[in-house]
């Protein structure tokens, strides 16, 4: 029976994974909506505790999310456009800097030989970034030329807020119904695992995203005060890459160093760039991560990289979205399995002979308890039988006494009748 149950659960997991794989092209808007609903549920619960109904609370949260998203888009699109235009203008300067400064230094100190056509490289990069046949233009052209792709994109754009609203409104009902599906004998374990998974997911989804945004703002502001023209772009890239520990720091400082050397041409700028990223790392390690994330995730940086790559390979962009949350949940399950294994006979935490002796002692105790209960039951039955016999004898004696009394009364009546006749 136990093997059958294991095979059943394995079949359920494989079937679910197969369905996710088949439906991965359409799952992205639903996953984004579920993420927004998960982020907004604590705020909706708080508003509901202030005597607002669930629908009103969800509407307020929904309006707040919409305003934040619209403000972000309206602010970021012009700024990013300006940054990309600046980047395209810096390309010729970067190539010239490499030709006149970097390449001679490499040739002098390392002895590298090679020839390259800087004019051709400059022309190619400029065409790709700014020309009508460039990479961005090609991407936009391919999107606009496909009516079905454009229709699907617009459909997803409309679908995400609608699904977010309904998921957020019925979030507590859905979670309660899912919890009610678990068998009663596994409900305590399921609730414990669900609680741990919620802590891990909330620490990641809410905490890590806030850390990423905070680091992006810190890096962008610091590089802006240093005077770097591409401060916003470098800060955003470093913040987004911070989803993998230390990766944002490495990518950000490399990009900032290159941009700083190209813009200023003075190596002393590297000191200020290093100070900015050192402050960012100190704030992340000492303030942001302990305050917003804590130590609940427990994902090694290598595990984070592997999860993202594996998710992208298996399920595409949808897999990238769900990679780290799924990895965090798997880590919770593995942690519980590890604890059970450490305390098991198989690991050796308990000696098998001691465990067998314990089982035998427990069995002997159970047998002794059963014998004791049996003897107590026999004694009780004997007492009941004795009490029954005594009651029966008392009844018989009372009946005999009553009969004797009746007989004597009858004799007295007979003698009185004879005396009256005489």
Q: What is the pLDDT of residue 277?
A: 93
Q: Mark whether 138 and 196 lie in a shared domain.
A: no
User: What is the Cα 114 distance to its own chain's centre?
Assistant: 51
The label of the residue with tokens 């359409």 reads 26
Give the mean pLDDT per block of 10 residues along the chain (422 residues).
Answer: 71 82 80 85 89 89 87 80 76 73 70 57 58 51 53 76 90 83 77 80 76 91 90 88 82 89 82 92 85 67 79 76 79 83 72 51 51 53 55 58 56 48 47
Residue 24 lies in a domain: yes
Residue 200 lies in a domain: yes
Q: What is the pLDDT of residue 122?
A: 57
User: What is the Cα 407 distance to its own chain's centre?
Assistant: 95
For residue 266, the SS3 value is coil
Q: Mark whether 27 and 79 lie in a shared domain.
A: yes
Neighbours of 3 (CB within 10 A): 7
Q: Mark whether 273 and 362 lie in a shared domain.
A: no
Give the domain-ending residue among 257, 290, 325: 325
Q: Mark whether 350 and 205 lie in a shared domain.
A: no
Q: Mark whether 159 and 301 lie in a shared domain.
A: no
Residue 330 lies in a domain: no
Q: Mark whether 315 and 356 lie in a shared domain.
A: no
Residue 180 lies in a domain: no
Quote the DSSP letter at residue 294: T
Domain enclosing residue 103, as ranges: 11-173
Distance CA 108, CA 129 (A): 32
Q: What is the pLDDT of residue 125?
A: 57
Q: Mark whether 356 and 320 lie in a shared domain.
A: no
Q: Mark whether 215 and 131 lie in a shared domain.
A: no
Residue 227 lies in a domain: yes
Residue 283 lies in a domain: yes
For residue 226, the SS3 value is helix
Distance CA 123, CA 97 (A): 16
Q: What is the pLDDT of residue 143?
A: 47
Distance CA 412, CA 422 (A): 16
Q: Mark whether 141 and 200 lie in a shared domain.
A: no
Q: Mark whether 302 and 362 lie in a shared domain.
A: no
Q: b or e along 201-210 (b: 16 or more beta carbons within 10 Å of the residue's beta carbon)?
A: bbbbbebbee
Residue 268 lies in a domain: yes
Neighbours of 41 (CB within 10 A): 19
Q: What is the pLDDT of residue 221?
A: 93
User: What is the Cα 331 distance to its own chain's centre?
Assistant: 10
Alpha helices in 181-268, H assignment, sequence order: 187-201, 209-226, 231-241, 247-264
Q: Provide the token pair at 366.
A: 């159970």
Q: Mark whether 132 and 231 lie in a shared domain.
A: no
Residue 76 lies in a domain: yes
Q: Provide the token pair at 191.
A: 């609730």
Q: Mark whether 221 and 292 lie in a shared domain.
A: yes
Total tally of structural domains belonging to the chain: 3
């Amino acid at each position: 029976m136990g093997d059958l149950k294991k095979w059943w659960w394995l079949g359920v997991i494989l079937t679910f994974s197969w369905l996710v794989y088949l439906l991965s092209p359409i799952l992205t808007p639903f996953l984004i909506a579920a993420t927004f609903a998960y982020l907004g549920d604590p705020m909706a619960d708080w508003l509901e505790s202030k005597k607002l109904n669930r629908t009103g609370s969800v509407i307020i949260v929904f309006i707040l999310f919409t305003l934040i998203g619209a403000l972000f888009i309206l602010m970021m699109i012009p700024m990013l456009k300006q940054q990309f235009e600046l980047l395209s203008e810096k390309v010729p300067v970067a190539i010239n800097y490499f030709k006149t400064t970097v390449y001679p230094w490499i040739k002098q100190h390392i002895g590298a030989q090679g020839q390259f056509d800087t004019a051709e490289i400059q022309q190619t990069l400029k065409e790709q970034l700014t020309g009508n046949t460039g990479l961005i233009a090609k991407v936009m052209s391919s999107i606009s030329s496909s009516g079905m792709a454009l229709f699907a994109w617009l459909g997803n754009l409309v679908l995400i807020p609608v699904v977010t609203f309904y998921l957020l409104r019925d979030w507590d009902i859905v979670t309660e119904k899912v919890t009610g599906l678990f068998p009663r004998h596994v409900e305590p374990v399921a609730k414990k695992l669900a609680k741990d998974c919620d802590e891990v997911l909330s620490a990641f989804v809410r905490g890590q995203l806030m850390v990423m945004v905070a680091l992006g703002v810190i890096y962008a502001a610091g590089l802006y005060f240093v005077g770097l023209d591409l401060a916003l772009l470098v800060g955003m890239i470093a913040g987004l890459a911070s989803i993998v520990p230390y990766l944002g720091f490495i990518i950000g400082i490399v990009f900032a160093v290159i941009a700083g050397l190209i813009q200023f041409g003075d190596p002393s700028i590297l000191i200020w760039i290093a100070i900015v990223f050192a402050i960012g790392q100190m704030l992340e390690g000492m303030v942001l991560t302990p305050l917003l994330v804590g130590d609940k995730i427990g994902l090694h940086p290598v595990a984070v990289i592997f999860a993202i790559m594996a998710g992208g390979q298996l399920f595409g962009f949808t897999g990238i979205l769900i990679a780290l949350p799924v990895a965090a949940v798997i880590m919770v399950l593995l942690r519980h399995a590890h604890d059970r294994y450490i305390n098991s006979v198989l690991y050796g935490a308990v000696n098998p002979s001691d465990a067998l002796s314990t089982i035998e002692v427990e069995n002997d105790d159970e047998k002794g308890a059963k014998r004791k209960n049996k003897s107590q039951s026999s004694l009780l039955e004997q007492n009941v039988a004795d009490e029954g016999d005594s009651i029966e004898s008392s009844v018989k004696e009372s009946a005999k006494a009553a009969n004797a009394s009746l007989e004597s009364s009858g004799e007295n009546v007979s003698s009185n009748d004879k005396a009256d006749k005489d």
